[in-house]
A and B are shown apart, each in its own frame.
Chain A
Amino acid sequence: MKLVIKGGRVIDPQSQLDAIMDVFVAAGKIVGVGTVPVGFHANREINAKDLVVCPGLVDLSARLREPGFEYKATLESEMEAAVAGGITSLACSPDTDPPLDEPGLVEMLKHRAKGLNQAHVYPIGALTQGLKGERLTEMAELRDAGCVAFGQSDMPFTNARVMMHAMQYASTFGFGVWLRPQDASLANGGVAHDGEVATRLGLPAISVCAETVALSNIILMAKETGATVHLCRISSAEGVAMVRAARQQGLPVTCDVAANHMHLSEMDIGFFDSNCHLVPPLRGLSDRNALRAGLLDGTIDAVCSDHTPVDEDAKLLPFGEAEAGATGLELLLPLTLKWAAEMRIPLVAALAKVTMEPARILGIDAGHLSPGAAADLCIFDPDQYWKVEAAALKSQGKNTPFLGMELQGKVKYTLVNGNIVNQG
Chain B
Amino acid sequence: MTMSNNPQLNRNGELQHLLTTEGLPASILLNILDTAESFIGVTERDVKKVPLLRGKSIFNLFFEPSTRTRTTFEIAAKRLSADVVNLNIAASSQSKGETLLDTVNNLSAMHADMFVVRHSQSGAAHLIARHVQPEIHVINAGDGRHAHPTQALLDMFTIRHYKLDFHKLRVAIVGDILHSRVARSQIHALTTLGVPEVRVIAPKTLLPAKVGRLGVHVYHQMEQGLKDVDVLLMLRLQNERMLSARLPSAEEYFKYYGLTQEKLALAKHDAIVLHPGPMNRGVEIDSAVADGKQSVILPQVTFGIAVRMAVMSILAGN
Of B101, B144, B209, which one neighbours A202 at CB under 8 angstroms? B144
Q: Is the CB of A313 within 8 A of B121?
A: no
Q: Is the CB of A203 within 8 A of B145?
A: yes
Interface size class of B (residues with CB under 8 A): 20 to 34
How far is A321 from B122 in the complex, measured between Cα atoms in Å?
10
Q: Is the CB of B123 within 8 A of A200?
A: no
Q: Is the CB of B181 within 8 A of A270?
A: no
Of B2, B121, B143, B184, which one neighbours A268 at CB under 8 angstroms? B2
Task: List the B side residues contacting A404 at CB < 8 Å.
Answer: 1
Task: List the A side residues contacting B214 at CB < 8 Å.
Answer: 199-200
Least Cβ distance of A383 to chain B in Å? 23
How far is A272 from B2 in the complex, measured between Cα atoms in Å?
9
How far is A161 from B20 in the complex, measured between Cα atoms in Å?
47
Q: Is the CB of A268 within 8 A of B101?
A: no
Q: Is the CB of B147 within 8 A of A205?
A: no
Q: Is the CB of A270 within 8 A of B122?
A: no
Of B121, B147, B184, which one neighbours A321 at CB under 8 angstroms? B121
How far is A106 from B158 in the complex, measured between Cα atoms in Å?
66
Most B Cβ at <10 Å: residue of A201, A313, A402: A201
In the complex, whether A198 has a CB less than 8 A from a CB of chain B is yes
Of A204, A207, A320, A402, which one neighbours B1 at CB under 8 angstroms? A402
**A310-331 near B? 1/0 per residue, CB < 8 Å:** 0001001111110000000000
- Known contacts A195-B210, A316-B101, A318-B100; A271 and B144 CB within 8 A of each other: no
In the complex, whether A401 has a CB less than 8 A from a CB of chain B is yes
Of B1, B124, B147, B210, which one neighbours A270 at CB under 8 angstroms? B1
Q: Which of A234-278 contact B (CB under 8 A)?
A: 267-273, 276
How far is A202 from B147 in the complex, measured between Cα atoms in Å?
8
Q: Is the CB of B213 within 8 A of A320?
A: no
In the complex, whether A70 has a CB less than 8 A from a CB of chain B is no
Task: List the B side residues contacting A194 at CB < 8 Å.
Answer: 209
Task: List the B side residues contacting A269 at CB < 8 Å.
Answer: 2
How far is A199 from B145 in the complex, measured between Cα atoms in Å?
9
In the complex, whether B22 has a CB less than 8 A from a CB of chain A is yes
How far is A320 from B146 in the complex, measured between Cα atoms in Å?
12
Q: Is the CB of B146 within 8 A of A198?
A: no
Q: Is the CB of B1 within 8 A of A268?
A: yes
Q: Is the CB of A267 within 8 A of B2?
A: yes
Least Cβ distance of B198 to chain A in Å? 15
Q: Is the CB of B127 within 8 A of A318?
A: yes
Most B Cβ at <10 Å: residue of A202, A203, A271, A316: A202
**B1-25 near A? 1/0 per residue, CB < 8 Å:** 1110001000000000000001000
Instruction: Across the interface, name the chain B residue whose C-beta is closest to A266.
Output: B210
Task: List the B side residues contacting A319 at CB < 8 Å.
Answer: 121-123
In the complex, whether B211 has a CB less than 8 A from a CB of chain A is yes
Task: List the B side residues contacting A405 at CB < 8 Å.
Answer: 1
In the complex, whether B126 has a CB less than 8 A from a CB of chain A is yes
How far is A270 from B131 in the complex, measured between Cα atoms in Å?
17
Instruction: Across the interface, name the chain A residue whose C-beta is closest to B144.
Output: A202
Task: List the B side residues contacting A313 at CB < 8 Å.
Answer: 99
Most B Cβ at <10 Å: residue of A196, A313, A402: A196
In the complex, whether B119 has a CB less than 8 A from a CB of chain A is yes
Of A195, A196, A320, which one neighbours B122 at CB under 8 angstroms? A320
Q: Is the CB of A199 within 8 A of B124?
A: no
Q: Is the CB of B1 within 8 A of A401?
A: yes
Interface SS, A side: loop
Q: Which of B77-123 contact A (CB under 8 A)?
A: 99-101, 119, 121-123
In the complex, whether B208 has a CB less than 8 A from a CB of chain A is yes
Of A198, A267, A270, A401, which one neighbours B208 at CB under 8 angstroms? A198
How far is A271 from B144 in the complex, measured between Cα atoms in Å?
14
**A4-24 near B? 1/0 per residue, CB < 8 Å:** 000000000000000000000
Q: Is the CB of B208 within 8 A of A318?
A: no
Least Cβ distance of A287 to chain B in Å? 13
Instruction: Across the interface, name the chain B residue whose C-beta is closest to A316.
Output: B101
Least Cβ distance of A183 to chain B in Å? 15
Instruction: Across the interface, name the chain B residue whose C-beta is closest to A264.
Output: B1
How far is A317 from B213 in the complex, measured between Cα atoms in Å?
28
Instruction: Across the interface, name the chain B residue whose C-beta is closest to A189.
Output: B244
Task: List the B side residues contacting A272 at CB < 8 Å.
Answer: 122-123, 126-127
Q: Is the CB of A320 within 8 A of B209?
A: no
How far is A96 from B274 in the complex, measured between Cα atoms in Å?
52
Of B99, B131, B146, B211, which one neighbours A201 at CB under 8 angstroms? B146
Least Cβ distance of B177 to chain A in Å? 9
Least Cβ distance of A307 to chain B in Å? 19
Q: Is the CB of A318 within 8 A of B7?
A: no
Of B1, B22, B145, B213, which one neighbours A196 at CB under 8 angstroms? B213
How far is A317 from B124 in the complex, measured between Cα atoms in Å?
8
How far is A227 from B213 in the complex, measured between Cα atoms in Å?
42
Q: Is the CB of A320 within 8 A of B123?
A: yes
How far is A271 from B99 in the complex, measured between Cα atoms in Å?
20
Least Cβ distance of B30 to chain A in Å? 23
Task: List the A side residues contacting B143 at CB < 8 Å.
Answer: 202, 318
Q: Which of A50-107 contact B (CB under 8 A)?
A: none
**A189-219 near B? 1/0 per residue, CB < 8 Å:** 0000011101111111101000000000000
How far is A200 from B210 in the complex, measured between Cα atoms in Å?
8
Task: List the A side residues contacting B124 at CB < 8 Å.
Answer: 318
Q: Is the CB of B122 within 8 A of A201?
A: yes
Q: Is the CB of A202 within 8 A of B145?
A: yes
How far is A310 from B184 in the complex, measured between Cα atoms in Å?
31
How far is A199 from B215 in the complex, measured between Cα atoms in Å?
12
Task: List the B side residues contacting A271 at CB < 8 Å.
Answer: 3, 7, 123, 126
A to B CB contacts below 8 Å, 11 in the list:
A195-B210, A196-B213, A199-B208, A200-B22, A200-B214, A201-B122, A203-B122, A268-B1, A273-B3, A319-B121, A319-B122
Other A-B pairs beyond A203-B146, A318-B121, 15, CB < 8 Å: A194-B209, A200-B22, A200-B213, A202-B122, A202-B143, A268-B2, A271-B7, A272-B126, A316-B99, A317-B100, A317-B127, A318-B123, A319-B121, A321-B121, A402-B1
| Closest 7 pairs (CB-CB, A-B) | A202-B145, A272-B123, A318-B121, A202-B146, A199-B208, A270-B2, A199-B210
